[in-house]
Amino acid sequence: MNTKLNQANIEADPEVPQIHIRRDFRATPEQLMQCHLDPELFVRWIGPSNLSTSIDYWDARSGGSWRYIGSRQDEEFAFHGCFHYVGAHTIVQTFTWEGMPESVALETVEFTDLGNGMTRLHARSLCDSFAGRDAWLSSGMESGVNEGYDELERLLSNDFS
């Protein structure tokens, strides 16, 4: 696998309109789950780094829902979705950017214990079309993903060590 610490591997699935994101972290699956589900931790790492994030509502349980807003100067970008399943090492949720409310992705995030204090995050985002997926990939999402995961790595090393 081409996944390297401190760099996310982002790939388009050739068979379905899906994006795969993989990254290894120095953390346990439980710590990564906590950082994805606790709204106070989530806003500290979600990227990109030039946005300030606030939570509108957050109910991190199977059947719950969420909404957050990223802001930069006079701009706001809101996102919302539903937690369909929250398990021991898996989150299944929908994801919608409110700027394109007709486009909803189904996301599955899994945390696999690699041993020696390492965990692999594997996020799969199933988009509504190949065009929608390709628009995401060309939107600059790579920098936001990597900046956010860099912050997540710092949060894990500072607050969980």
Q: Which pLDDT score, from 0 to 100, does residue 3 have?
A: 44
Q: What's this model's pTM, rounded to 2 decimal places?
A: 0.92
pLDDT tens readout for residues 74-113: 999 999 999 999 999 999 999 999 998 988 999 999 999 9
- Confirm if 37 and 142 have CB atoms less than 8 A apart: no
Q: What is the DSSP letter of 14?
A: S
Q: Which pLDDT score, from 0 to 100, does residue 5 have?
A: 54
Categorise residue 63: left if φ over 0, alpha if ψ from -120 to 50, beta otherwise: left
Higher pLDDT pick, 132 / 125: 125
Q: Which pLDDT score, from 0 to 100, does residue 47 have?
A: 82
- E strands, 65-138, are 65-72, 75-86, 90-97, 105-115, 118-126
Q: Which pLDDT score, from 0 to 100, does residue 6 have?
A: 74
Position of tokens 């997926």?
Answer: 133
Q: Which pLDDT score, from 0 to 100, does residue 48 have?
A: 87
Separation between Cα atoms, residue 23 and residue 61, nearest integer Å: 24
Please give the domain boundaries of the chain with CATH numbers for all domains: 13-159 (3.30.530.20)
Strand partners, 24: 120
Picking from 67, 58, 65, 53, the residue whose alpha carbon sits closest to that of residue 38 is: 58
